[in-house]
Amino acid sequence: MELSKFLILVKGLKAVYTSDRFLPDEDSIKIWYALLKDISYEVLNLAIQKYIMTGVYPPTVADLRRLSAEVTQGQQRDWGAGWEQVLLAIRKYGMYQINEALDSMDEITRQCVERLGFKEICMSENLANDRANFRMIYEQLAERKTKDAQLSEALTEKINAILVENKKQMEIEEKQI
């Protein structure tokens, strides 16, 4: 997004949130722009409108990135919908068609089921316990996916590069031992 378009959005925000402490100077606007410029004008505009209609206090960069991710990806499904997918897959495919059952699930649900084991869930005598474990895993994975969606692509690439470098360094250190 171009700075000129971002300034239009800032003008709108400042018209609604009139506190002198909200984006008080040019430097703070530049920082916000640096942290939000990877989001398209249209998406950020919708996120700002949504925030203005629901937020009492001035937004943070994190608020706007979260809402922008919601605009582009939709809201994350809750764990109950994922558990329904599991029960449907058990009824439809049974415990012997694991690949077909897993293919019928969304990404997060599939990851949860893979961790718990599809056959183990099918054969379980304590579905209430399996459902509770599924819920904990699902909520953790959904939160991680939501937070990852809020990060810029450039930041994610830099973080991944550091992780790769650290992993290489650890492998070198292990070989020396």
> Of 28-37, 72-81, 120-129, 130-139, where does mean pLDDT reach its minimum?
72-81
Q: What domains lie within the chain, and their CATH numbers?
A: 3-73 (1.10.8), 79-148 (no CATH)
Averaged pLDDT for residues 34-50: 96
Mean pLDDT of the chain, nearest integer: 93
Closest CA to 35 of 65, 79, 66: 65
Around Cβ 141, how many Cβ atoms within 10 Å? Answer: 19
Q: Is the pLDDT of residue 104 over 90?
A: yes
- Rounded distance, CA 40 to CA 153, Å? 13
pLDDT of residue 103: 96
Is the overall model pTM greater than 0.75, yes or no?
A: no
